[in-house]
């Protein structure tokens, strides 16, 4: 296909970003330049550290300084992602990095999820925009006013799971000075952003730290059948962006893909620019859809965008693989080859098989292969790819795009970066707390919970009959249509003498118009992990914090010494691998299924969300005394009713205790 050279393509650069801006991803220098060539209004990218896409190539400070100068000369904004959960010992380095960005790069915005970044940015003298990441899970309208007033952010990146009606309800609640950013294209996580602990629980590689190994992409087995039950297609709103364009508070259309190559970045950026600027023109619309069809992503889905026609994002069979299928392996061991259904160019990248196939490999095409020609394959780690194995084109280097990138490279200025002075984060003063330790069990519907229960109608009825004073735990994710019902339940719980509430997103504080005469704690799903983040929720009116259970032993044991609030910790019970908005179609709920590595899990629907659990529990019992000595005042066990036929396995449940959280 010929690279587009219309007036909306690479040759034209606007001096003023249009609204909504086309926000393109960049995980490498060539992808950044491809975004410029495709006509992006803004580009987001990460540095080598503290980025939620650590598997991307990412940039040095020198790289990003030169690229930002080039982008600014063309009227294109640059946003830097510092969107990981920060451990206590990382605050000084993060503040120093923000200071260097401020003085030597001058990015237009910083994208963050950890609340400590706001304080660090102010301390470092940063005066650009602050954008709250989708990992922070701002998922209901009432949250927006609190986000703006307490953090002073300029933009909120809303969840991918929202429908257009829900986006409109969020937009209607935007206070002055706050805008929204919505994803329009790219990879979908099965779990709600910020509510996935799957990769971390199975081996210390945290999605909240940008190191997810994507266990959701694997095949899972149940009752003898295997399926990629959680592997989502790509979000692709394509022509439906014309509906999103009517929502004035949506300032940016965001394309996911910082691990993608320049081909994908250029094609998706150019396509959505066409749809935004010339979507009324049938020819432009056809060109845009053609670009998207050849962008080398996964097959697309509108997901939940149209509430009257929602689509399940997990495709049946193997259709959810990334890249364009260009053929299948022919021949046998010793003579395997590919006869591509379309020409392959020198420099193209192809993947043989799927990422979780033990024999899969990625190859670069050294010499062009014509359509129907032969590209002979070699064994990988001593194994030949099996006959009929699929072959996907996952990145390519068209001469026209390569030429545009080379021209832009020639314009990059020479930039040198001077090391910044040592930065010492100004931390809140720690306080002394009541040394007594409370223990709490949290169950559902009154089963198993001694003094804690997840807030729902069934548990409220049970509690009213038993006349027990309970701590009420709010769900980890709240969707726009649920807030009226939740507010009514909160009022009922308060009237009946609740002992306290645990909020599982800091913004759930907005569901309490006035501070009730009982404690409000930030729960473990708030992902709070350092003193500055704790100070931020304290200013929101929170009385205590249940810290992130992802932390390793050193971080957990050191945090109480610098905490401005009393701390609690989950020491046992069923911790979910993830929370999602939809149940898998290929697997039966309440029944065990198995991963390729033999791990057993099961899932269940609670309210509007699907919870996925491993068949072993979190268990820090042997370290409880150390946690108490360190200063923890609340020890919590989460109790989940295990379905019949699912048995819990005896195995260590220490999570990251002995690991260095990465």
Residue length, the chain?
662
The span from the CA of 43 to the CA of 62, in Å, is: 17
pLDDT digits over 572-590, tens only? Answer: 999 999 999 999 999 999 9
What domains appear along the chain, each with residue ranges and CATH number?
21-188+234-296 (3.20.20.60), 192-232+576-616 (no CATH), 324-400 (no CATH), 438-574+619-638 (3.20.20.60)
Mean pLDDT of 490-496: 93
Taking CA atoms, 436 is separated from 359, 406, 464, 499, 634, in Å, by 56, 66, 28, 17, 9
Name the DSSP class of 75.
T
pLDDT digits over 243-276, tens only? Answer: 999 999 999 999 999 999 999 999 999 999 999 9
Q: Do 519 and 129 form a contact (C-beta atoms < 8 A)? A: no
What is the separation of C-alpha 493 from the centre of its chain, rounded to a whole number of angstroms?
A: 33
The span from the CA of 658 to the CA of 515, in Å, is: 39
Alpha-helix runs per DSSP H in 349-398: none
Helix, strand, coil shares of the chain, percent, nearest 5, are 30, 20, 50
Nearest to 428 by CA among 532, 521, 506, 529: 532
Q: Do 573 and 617 form a contact (C-beta atoms < 8 A)? A: yes
Torsion angles phi and psi, residue 199, rounded to 5: -65, -35
Mean pLDDT of 556-564: 97
**What is the sign, positive or negative, of the torsion defined by CA atoms of 269, 275, 277, 278?**
positive
Judged against a pLDDT cut of 60, whether residue 52 lies above it is answered with no
- 54 or 597, greater pLDDT: 597
Residue 20 preceded by cis peptide, ω within 30: yes
User: Mean pLDDT for the chain?
Assistant: 92
- 4 or 291, greater pLDDT: 291
Question: What pLDDT score was predicted for residue 468?
Answer: 75
Mean pLDDT of 183-211: 94
The span from the CA of 339 to the CA of 354, in Å, is: 18
Judged against a pLDDT cut of 50, whether residue 195 lies above it is answered with yes
Question: What pLDDT score was predicted for residue 653?
Answer: 93
pLDDT digits over 89-103, tens only? Answer: 999 999 999 999 999
The span from the CA of 555 to the CA of 549, in Å, is: 10
The span from the CA of 439 to the CA of 568, in Å, is: 9
Q: Determine if residue 386 is left, alpha or beta; phi over 0 gives left, psi from -120 to 50 gives alpha, anything else beta.
A: beta
């Amino acid at each position: 296909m010929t690279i587009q050279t219309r007036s909306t393509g690479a040759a034209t650069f606007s001096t003023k970003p249009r609204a909504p801006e086309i926000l393109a991803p960049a995980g490498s220098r060539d992808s950044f330049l491809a975004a410029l060539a495709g006509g992006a209004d803004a580009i987001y990218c990460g540095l080598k550290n503290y980025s939620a896409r650590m598997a991307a190539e990412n940039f040095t400070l020198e790289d990003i300084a030169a690229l930002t100068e080039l982008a600014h000369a063309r009227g294109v904004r640059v946003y830097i992602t510092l969107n990981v959960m920060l451990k206590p010992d990382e605050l000084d380095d993060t503040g120093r990095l923000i200071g260097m960005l401020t003085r030597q790069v001058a990015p237009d915005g910083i994208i963050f999820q950890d609340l400590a970044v706001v304080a660090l940015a102010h301390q470092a003298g940063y005066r650009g925009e602050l954008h709250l990441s989708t990992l922070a899970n701002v998922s209901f309208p009432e949250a927006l006013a609190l986000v703006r007033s307490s953090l002073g952010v300029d933009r909120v990146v809303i969840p991918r799971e929202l429908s257009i009606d829900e986006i409109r309800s969020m937009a209607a609640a935007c206070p002055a000075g706050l805008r929204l950013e919505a994803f329009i294209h790219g990879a979908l996580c099965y779990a709600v952003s910020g509510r996935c602990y799957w990769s971390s629980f199975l081996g210390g590689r945290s999605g909240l730290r940008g190191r997810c190994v994507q266990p959701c992409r694997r095949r899972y087995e149940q009752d003898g059948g295997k399926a990629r039950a959680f592997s989502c297609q790509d979000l692709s709103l394509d022509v439906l962006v014309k509906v999103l364009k009517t929502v004035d508070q949506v300032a940016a259309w965001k394309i996911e893909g910082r691990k993608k190559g320049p081909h994908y970045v250029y094609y998706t950026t150019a396509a959505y620019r066409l749809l935004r600027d010339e979507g009324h023109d049938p020819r432009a619309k056809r060109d845009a859809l053609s670009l998207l069809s050849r962008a080398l992503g996964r097959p697309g889905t509108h997901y939940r965008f149209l509430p009257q026609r929602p689509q399940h994002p997990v495709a049946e069979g193997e259709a959810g693989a990334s890249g364009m299928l260009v053929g299948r392996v022919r021949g046998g061991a010793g003579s395997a080859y590919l006869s591509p259904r379309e020409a392959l160019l020198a420099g193209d990248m192809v993947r043989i098989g799927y990422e979780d196939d033990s024999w899969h490999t990625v190859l670069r095409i050294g010499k062009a292969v014509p359509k129907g020609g032969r590209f002979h394959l070699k064994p990988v780690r001593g194994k030949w790819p099996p006959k009929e194995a699929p072959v996907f084109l996952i990145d390519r280097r068209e001469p026209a795009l390569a030429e545009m990138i080379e021209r832009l490279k020639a314009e990059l200025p020479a930039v040198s970066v001077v090391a910044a002075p040592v930065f010492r984060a100004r931390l809140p003063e720690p306080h002394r707390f009541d040394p007594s330790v409370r223990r709490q069990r949290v169950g559902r519907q009154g089963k198993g919970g001694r003094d804690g229960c997840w807030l729902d109608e069934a548990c409220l009825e049970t509690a009213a009959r038993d006349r027990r004073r309970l701590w009420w735990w709010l769900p980890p994710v709240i969707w726009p249509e649920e807030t009226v019902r939740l507010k009514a339940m909160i009022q009922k719980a308060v009237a009946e003498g609740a002992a306290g509430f645990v909020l599982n997103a800091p913004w759930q504080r907005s569901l309490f118009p006035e501070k009730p005469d009982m404690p409000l704690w930030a729960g473990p799903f708030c992902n709070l992990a350092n003193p500055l983040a704790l100070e931020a929720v304290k200013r929101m009116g929170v009385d205590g914090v249940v810290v992130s259970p992802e932390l390793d032993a050193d971080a957990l044991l050191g945090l109480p010494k610098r905490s401005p609030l009393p701390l609690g910790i989950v020491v046992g019970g069923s911790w979910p691998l993830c929370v999602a908005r939809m149940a898998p179609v290929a697997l039966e709920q309440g029944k065990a299924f198995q991963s390729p590595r033999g791990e057993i899990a099961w899932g269940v629907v609670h309210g509007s969300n699907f919870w996925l659990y491993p068949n072993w529990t979190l268990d820090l019992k042997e370290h409880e005394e150390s946690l108490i000595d360190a200063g923890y005042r609340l020890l919590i066990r989460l109790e989940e009713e295990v379905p019949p036929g699912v048995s819990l396995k005896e195995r260590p449940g220490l999570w990251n205790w002995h690991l260095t959280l990465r």
